[in-house]
Amino acid sequence: MNRNTIIKMRILLLALLSVLTAGISTSLAGDIKQTADEIAVAYAARVVGDNNRVRLVMDFDRRIKFKTMYLENPDRLVLDLEETIFGLDGSSDERIRGLVTDFRAGAIAPGRSRVVLLTSVPTRVEKYSIKPQQKDGRHRLTMDIIKTDRETYRDAIFLQTGALGESGNVAYKGDRIRRDRKGRAKQFTIVIDPGHGGIDGGAEGSGRTIEKSITLGFAVALKRVLEKTRNIRVLMTREHDVFVSLAERVSFARRNKADLMLSIHADSLRQRQIRGATIYTLSEVGSDEFSRTMAKNENRADIFAGLALPKEDTAVADILLDLARRETGVFSVQFASTLIDRLSGRISLIKNPHRAANFQVLRAPDIPSVLLELGYLSNADDVKQISSSEWQASTSEFVSQAIVAYQRTHEIRNAFLHLRAK
Ligand SMILES: [Zn+2]
């Protein structure tokens, strides 16, 4: 083997911690319900090879079962396995080369883990084996992955669809649907959506600050504040370190008949000097280049988790849907300006804090939806600030004031519509 193309990933067992380095990321399941004995451990993983073939080698504490799946746009090879803890010591700066351009491993749903290899061309698993190692009793998975042509690849995808479903059905679906009791006036419902989670860590800042933990921490703080106010039902798209697809976040809000959806993020920018909170609403076109790039990156979250891309939105031509979207858009903008009002002068905001872009998570046609970037993990001052619990506590207070203000206007409007209807 050519030494230059050897990628080593020394894997450590790190309790509930995830690391993202040099385009390689791993994350650990936070939603562990099994006892430690029941969870498999991956000690080591490496990819060795060139542009025609690579060998994936992973060491586990036991004989594991897995399924493979191929995905297109971009090309990915996915291994679905039982719940497994992965860790990466972060000291390795070797790059992924050859056929494999990105390697991720982590939780995908309760009790399930996943390894995703992003490949530069279509590939095929030539052969694999799992063998116990004499020296330490560990089980080594060796998988040879070779380059293949587009047609063969598509045939393989076509054949697997019947067996696994189009997206591999990995969206997290718990018993989270709460229905309104019959006969009661519908309570104002907000869905708080902590960005990223599980295998998808999101952005990374200094000191191993991971976006998925920041967003969850802030969402929990906000939920606590909101629950003190009466007449607001607060739901979250995730309450643990689990992966939830973008489509599932939107349909969660729709199933629960949310009146408002607030997605929380703390992304990273190439321009490290930029800092401050940003409030995004949906726009097909995008308000500026900066926002368009942001949405593009954000919409890639599912790709790195090994999900198939959603089907084209064929319903766009529907005129009723178009009207609904327009009305929803007006309310989204209304909430965005209320939010900016409450945050101005209290926390640092980016220049022109209201921006717009085509974020997939804001696309519910009937639910006003806003995405709040708390700040940017690429800026050292922002990292310090948004990871502090004092800042999170006071900021969640301001955000909740905006939600309450929005809820009031929402109720007045509903009462007015009700009167008119009589
Ligand atoms: Zn994000």
Q: How many angstroms does the Cα of residue 396 sit away from the middle of ligand 1?
A: 18
pLDDT number for residue 45:
82
In contact, 96 and 45? CB cutoff 8 Å? no
Backbone phi and psi for residue 312, each to the nearest 5 degrees, phi listed first:
-55, 140
Distance (Å, whole) CA 402 – CA 406: 6
- For 134-180, the DSSP string reads TTT--EEEEEEEEE--HHHHHHHHHHHHHHH-TT-S-S---S---PP
Distance from the alpha carbon of residue 298 to the mean position of ligand 1, in angstroms: 6
Residue spans of the chain under pLDDT 70: 1-37, 87-97, 161-185, 308-322, 415-422
Cis preceding linkage at 74, omega within 30: yes
Residue ranges and CATH numbers for the domains of the chain are 3-164 (2.60.40.3500), 188-421 (3.40.630.40)
pLDDT digits (tens, 9 = 90+) for 293-311: 989 888 888 887 777 655 5
Confidence (pLDDT) at 168: 39
Q: What is the pLDDT of residue 7?
A: 34
Which tokens go with 396?
């969640």
Look at residue 408 in the predicted model and tell me its pLDDT. Answer: 87
CA of 264 to the centre of ligand 1 (A): 8
The answer to whether the beta carbons of residues 232 and 407 sit under 8 Å apart is: yes
Q: CA-CA distance, 177 to 192, in Å (whole number)?
A: 14
For residues 259 and 410, the answer to whether their CB atoms sit within 8 Å is: yes
179 Cβ partners below 8 Å, 6+ apart? none
pLDDT of residue 270: 87
What residues flank ion ligand 1 with Cβ within 5 A? 195, 202, 265, 267
Residue 161's pLDDT is what?
Answer: 57
Cα separation, 117 vs 40, whole angstroms: 20
Whole-number pLDDT of residue 48: 85
What is the 33 CA–ligand 1 centroid distance (Å)?
26
Structural Rg of the chain based on CA atoms: 23
Rounded to 10 deg, the angle between the 389-421 and 319-343 helix axes is 130
pLDDT, residue 250, reads 93
pLDDT for position 11: 32
